[in-house]
């Protein structure tokens, strides 16, 4: 019976200062309330006794001793020590284990086709019937070419190099506007072509403060870096490394205490 009580008393002393610190910023303490008195007699565990000896604390700021281990699966720091030392260890770990601020970065990759071509001008035509003969001229208003004249029923070549067949009303939305009179006709031309924009991708990434994040829209392409030959039969052996090809965006966020975010953006477009 005495041997069992001794084992229980040793376990109670060892577990009295078991403290678990989670690496997520939350301190979780797990202690047993079992004292050596309840386990079979003896002095209390709070006095720092172990195996019948008393731990002496030095006055130079070092308080007690501790056994520290890390659980990589649960991301916890396990400290086995006495009650007084655990307070100081807990303060240090709490001050160090603070979650870094993060920011969600959303990016839109666009492919823009620039096309600034336009066809803007004024075309005028004048015709008069003299001695049973119809004469007419057609010219532009910008002086880009000399006047072109023609004799006949409104058959002429305008300044844009297009034959004027008729001055009938144009359908709506064609970019043309006509002014008709008894012996003159004016056509206003305003036609422009706009470019197009195509959305390639809308990626997003969660980046930590002061740490670079990389967004890649593309593919990994194998590249031959070196070639060696087998000494026996001369068979070539190629060493291959993979390289990201496409649109690569490197972003480094900087988050201040007020929540404002500044970013260093480094885009790169690569192709084979």
Determine which of 60-69, 144-153, 172-181, 252-261 has the lowest per-residue pLDDT on average.
Answer: 144-153
Give the pLDDT confidence score for residue 257 in this predicted structure: 84
Please give the residue that has the higher pLDDT: either 175 or 145: 175
Please give the residue that has the higher pLDDT: either 234 or 256: 256
- As a whole number, mean pLDDT of residues 245-263 equals 89
Record the pTM: 0.41
Do the bridges between strand 196-201 and strand 109-113 make them parallel or antiparallel, or are there none, so unpaired?
antiparallel
Residue 151's beta-bridge partner residues?
Answer: 135
pLDDT of 204 higher than 70: yes
pLDDT of 165 higher than 80: no
Ranges 23-27, 41-45, 195-199, 226-230, most confident? 226-230
Give the pLDDT confidence score for residue 233 in this predicted structure: 76
Please give the residue that has the higher pLDDT: either 57 or 214: 214
Of all residues in the chain, what percent carry a pLDDT higher than 70?
A: 47
Give the pLDDT confidence score for residue 38 in this predicted structure: 38
Determine which of 93-102, 117-126, 140-149, 171-180 has the lowest per-residue pLDDT on average.
Answer: 140-149
């Amino acid at each position: 019976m005495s041997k069992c009580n001794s084992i229980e008393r040793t376990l109670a002393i060892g577990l009295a200062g078991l403290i678990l610190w989670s690496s997520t910023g939350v301190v979780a303490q797990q202690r047993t309330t079992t004292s050596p008195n309840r386990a079979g007699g003896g002095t209390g565990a709070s006095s720092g006794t172990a195996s019948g000896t008393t731990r002496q604390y030095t006055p130079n700021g070092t308080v007690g001793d501790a056994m520290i281990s890390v659980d990589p699966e649960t991301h916890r720091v396990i400290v086995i020590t006495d009650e007084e030392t655990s307070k100081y260890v807990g303060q240090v770990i709490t001050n160090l284990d603070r979650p870094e601020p993060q920011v969600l970065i959303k990016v839109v990759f666009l492919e823009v086709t620039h096309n600034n071509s336009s066809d803007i001008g004024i075309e005028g035509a004048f015709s008069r019937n003299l001695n049973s003969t119809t004469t007419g001229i057609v010219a532009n208003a910008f002086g880009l070419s000399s006047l072109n004249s023609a004799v006949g029923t409104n058959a002429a070549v305008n300044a844009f190099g297009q034959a004027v067949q008729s001055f009938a009303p144009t359908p709506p939305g064609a970019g043309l506007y006509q002014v008709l009179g008894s012996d003159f006709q004016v056509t206003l031309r305003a036609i422009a072509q706009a470019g197009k924009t195509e959305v390639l991708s809308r990626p997003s990434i969660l980046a930590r403060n002061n740490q670079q994040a990389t967004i890649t829209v593309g593919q990994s392409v194998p590249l031959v870096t070196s070639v060696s030959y087998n000494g026996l039969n001369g068979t070539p052996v190629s060493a291959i490394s993979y390289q990201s090809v496409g649109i690569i965006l490197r972003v480094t966020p900087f988050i201040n205490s007020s929540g404002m975010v500044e970013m260093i953006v480094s885009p790169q477009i690569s192709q084979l």
